Amino acid sequence: MKIILVLLAVTLFGLNASAQVEDPSRFDIRIGIGTSLLGTGDMRTFMLETELNYSLTEYFTIGGGLGMGRSNSGVSETASFFQGNANMYFSPFGNSGKNDFRIGGGLSFNSISDAYISSVELGPGGQIINQEVTFDQRNALGFNIILENSYWITDKTLIGIKVFTQPYVNGDINSGILFKVGFRL
């Protein structure tokens, strides 16, 4: 929560500082909220993401971001992840107008922690006498495949939607949808 508040403060300060410049900034920050399926749909997570973008040209943008998610439903009792992403986006129709449809890809590093019931001891009548919980933590490198559409509702503010999938080399996968709001810095 502190990270989100700091990013919002930086965004608002950047909007105020850049209001005196006539040329639009090439930087924007986007905050996304949504859901993802961690694993092969095994864990439905609530997800937050913050991304900083820089427009290289009318057609290419680079971006880096941090994401996190948490779930209490699925094959594990609980699961959470923290990830860092570095992406390159291609806007086939250009990114200088009101609407920006872009296709992206890049690298992702994911750190996942989960807990699951590994054994259960039942007593008379099927009552649980004892259960053992196993905790697992793993890190993985993977890549991103992204489709995103954004619309600038003002010169400084955008809304958008992002659909993504992230396969990782250890067999994990994270796929989801995020609704985004962004600000030109």
How many other β-carbons are positioned within 10 Å of the β-carbon of residue 179? 13
Structural domain of 131: 2-184
pLDDT of residue 18: 45
* 93-137 pLDDT, tens digit each: 998 889 999 999 999 999 999 888 888 888 888 888 888 888 989
* 137-184 pLDDT, tens digit each: 999 999 999 999 999 999 999 999 999 999 999 999 999 999 999 999
3: exposed, middle or buried (Cβ count in 10 Å: 0-12, 13-18, 19+): exposed
Q: Where are the beta strands (DSSP E) in the chain?
A: 27-38, 43-55, 60-71, 78-90, 99-122, 128-152, 157-167, 173-184
Number of domains in the chain: 1
For the chain, give the mean pLDDT.
88
**CATH at 135:** 2.40.160.20
